[in-house]
Amino acid sequence: DVTIYSKADDMPEIAGAASQPLSNVGRESHSFLHHIVSNYHRLADWTLFSQATPPSWGYLFGESANGHLNDNVSFDDYLRPFPQGRDSMFV
């Protein structure tokens, strides 16, 4: 299941995804916490929280192309539930 939370004026529509508008308060952590609190008793076994665009490698202060990924890790690595049977991954 895919849920998209958006604080934008225009709600994105993506086939097969549930969309839910949120008030434009806080940052992405507000959206993440909203999901956890609202779904606490029915959380998925694997949940991925991400900003609107997939991250890339590195951190460039003040740049829109910031990545926050470490070496040898791709965004796709986060999309595979239970890599090698593990319930989490350390990067």
Give tens-digit pLDDT for 12-32: 888 888 888 999 888 888 999
pLDDT given at position 35? 92
pLDDT given at position 37? 95
What secondary structure does DSSP assign to 60-75, as a single string?
-TT-TT---BPTT--H
**30-59 as b/e, with b when 16 or more CB fall inside 10 Å?**
ebeeebeeeeeeeeeeeeeeeeeeebeeee
Give tens-digit pLDDT for 22-79: 998 888 889 999 999 999 999 988 887 877 766 666 665 555 555 666 667 777 777 7
Q: What is the value of pTM for the model shown?
A: 0.66
pLDDT given at position 6? 87
Cα angle for residues 3, 8, 60 (degrees, 5° grid): 90
Using an 8 Å Cβ cutoff, are 91 and 70 in contact? Answer: yes
